[in-house]
């Protein structure tokens, strides 16, 4: 199984990663002036402890540099692909020119192909976008089975595009929700996106990850899939040095959930990736197969139970992403006891998530998969994916709108506007490493 990790830096020489099948695939940022790629491999713990800890949750060998107990991964035989973005403080357009890290000669450059505006598909000749979302797109294109994201960056439409492509390729995107000390910060990333597998962290006693100074807990997302261990785990280092450390954060719960999905895919190769995630959400808690019940307690469908998940044959479950809401009648869309609806301005009002939804997915798929030309400004344009003649009017998925109650509602109001909710829409370029410096035993990564 190939697990893609999207993070900042990594130290492949950490003793706990000796023998691991770790490939550093490249960076999505180059210096605009020199053209030099941003550095993503580092032995500086201040830079690389976070990403190296994330990788160790997947493929750590359990042996520290002194021969003692070290970080052990959940899927030690997995192949890990590391896509680095470097220092997020240098991810702005004036310091980071986007590059496709693994584009093949003659292939389509994902940094300059197409983009999603929130309403329509457009050509991206200017190379605009977000480095973390671009890394996730590259991982999907390259053939990753699972993507694990433990950094928060990028705007809503950047990640809408990633979700669209993950649905098309059937590649689950696992992403950590906010840590306790991040709750009042403006963050990017897909942790509130429809279709993403948002992961919360729990302490050893099953309670939500808690900041011992403030009492605040992790979460702040209505789309949580499951909760996984993320409190006082054994890591490979922290900001101040290498060596066994107790670490905490949703950043580390996320690869544990992604690794569990990879184990399920490996054990049941005839099941689809989304059937495996169905099994994950249907075997939470004390065990046994059950219907998915999303709670209001920041635990999503419940506690991740890897042993029970691996006992359940996923082929018995629906072949669909359990995190992807396609109808306003879905109970998850309810707000204040009322079903989801379309506002007068055309915005989808769904308690589950602000975006993306079926209408946007169908538009994107028409250009990306079906090869239809686009007409973002009235005139037909070819994209790098266009296979149909420009003299044929693109269908733009109008004929398929009836497949979903949400699509019908959008057609009725006649306004195809998908904007993020207030808390998300204002996040355009805000970035954050999901950690804070110099905290007790790095308990708030």
Cα radius of gyration rounded to whole Å, the chain: 21
Q: Is the dihedral of CA 256, 258, 264, 265 positive or negative?
A: negative
- The rounded distance, in Å, linking the Cα atoms of 265 and 271 is 7
- The rounded distance, in Å, linking the Cα atoms of 275 and 193 is 20
| 43 catalytically annotated | no
- The rounded distance, in Å, linking the Cα atoms of 7 and 52 is 9
| DSSP assignments along 90-156, one per residue | G-STTT-EE--TTPPTTS--GGGSEEE-SSSEEE-TT--S-HHHHHHHHHHHHT-SEEEE-EE-S-H
Helix (H) or strand (E) holding 245: strand 241-247
| 87 catalytically annotated | no
Give the DSSP letter of residue 5.
E
Q: Which of 427, 29, 51, 89 is nearest to 254 (CA)?
A: 51
Per-residue b or e along 59-71, where b marks 16 or more CB atoms closer than 10 Å to that residue's CB: bbbebbeeeeebb
CA distances, 147 to each of 165, 321, 396 (Å): 12, 14, 29
Using an 8 Å Cβ cutoff, are 60 and 30 in contact? Answer: no
Catalytic residue among 38, 50, 112, 193: 50
| DSSP assignments along 72-91, one per residue | E-S-TTSEEEEEE---GGG-
Using an 8 Å Cβ cutoff, are 121 and 52 in contact? Answer: no
Catalytic residue among 150, 166, 251, 353: 251
Catalytic residue among 7, 87, 181, 182: 7
- The rounded distance, in Å, linking the Cα atoms of 42 and 84 is 11
Using an 8 Å Cβ cutoff, are 148 and 174 in contact? Answer: yes
Using an 8 Å Cβ cutoff, are 30 and 96 in contact? Answer: yes
| 33 catalytically annotated | no
Cite the active site residues.
7, 50, 251
């Amino acid at each position: 199984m190939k697990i893609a990790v999207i993070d900042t830096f990594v130290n492949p020489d950490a003793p706990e990663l000796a023998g691991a099948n770790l490939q550093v695939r490249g960076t999505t940022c180059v210096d605009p002036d020199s053209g030099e790629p941003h550095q993503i491999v580092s032995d500086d713990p201040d830079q690389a402890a976070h990403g190296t800890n994330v990788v160790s949750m997947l493929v750590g060998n359990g042996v520290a540099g002194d021969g003692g107990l070290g970080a052990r991964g959940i899927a030690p035989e997995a192949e890990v692909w590391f896509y680095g973005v470097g220092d997020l403080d240098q991810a702005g357009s004036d310091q980071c020119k986007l590059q496709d890290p693994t584009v093949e000669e003659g292939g389509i450059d994902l940094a300059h192909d197409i983009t999603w505006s929130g309403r329509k598909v457009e050509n991206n000749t200017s190379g605009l976008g977000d480095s973390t979302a671009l890394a996730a797109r590259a991982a999907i294109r390259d053939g990753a089975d699972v993507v694990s994201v433990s950094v928060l960056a990028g705007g809503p439409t950047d990640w809408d595009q990633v979700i669209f492509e993950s649905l098309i390729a059937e590649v689950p995107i696992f992403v950590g929700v906010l840590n306790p000390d991040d709750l009042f910060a403006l963050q990017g990333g897909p942790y509130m996106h429809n279709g993403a597998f948002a992961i919360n962290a729990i302490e050893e006693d099953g309670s939500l990850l808690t900041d011992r100074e403030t009492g605040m807990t992790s979460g702040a997302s209505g789309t949580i899939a499951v909760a996984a261990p993320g409190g006082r785990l054994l890591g490979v280092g922290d900001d101040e040095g290498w060596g066994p450390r107790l670490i905490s954060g949703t950043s580390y719960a996320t690869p544990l959930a992604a690794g569990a999905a990879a184990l399920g895919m490996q054990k049941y190769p005839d099941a689809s990736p989304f059937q495996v995630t169905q099994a994950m959400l249907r075997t939470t808690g004390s065990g046994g197969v059950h219907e998915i019940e999303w709670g209001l307690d920041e635990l999503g469908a419940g506690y991740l139970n890897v042993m029970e998940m691996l006992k359940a044959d996923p082929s018995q479950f629906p072949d669909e992403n359990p995190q992807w809401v396609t109808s306003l009648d879905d109970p998850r869309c309810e707000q204040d006891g009322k079903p989801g609806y379309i506002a007068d301005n055309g915005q989808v009002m769904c308690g589950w998530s602000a975006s993306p939804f079926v209408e946007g997915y169908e538009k994107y798929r028409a250009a990306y998969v079906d090869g239809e030309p686009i007409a973002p400004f009235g005139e037909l344009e070819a994209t790098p994916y266009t296979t149909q003649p420009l003299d044929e009017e693109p269908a733009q998925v109008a004929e398929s709108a009836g497949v979903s109650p949400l699509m019908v509602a959008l057609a009725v109001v006649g306004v195809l506007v998908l904007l993020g909710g207030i808390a998300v829409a204002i996040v355009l370029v805000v970035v954050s490493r999901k950690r804070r410096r110099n905290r007790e035993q790095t308990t708030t990564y």
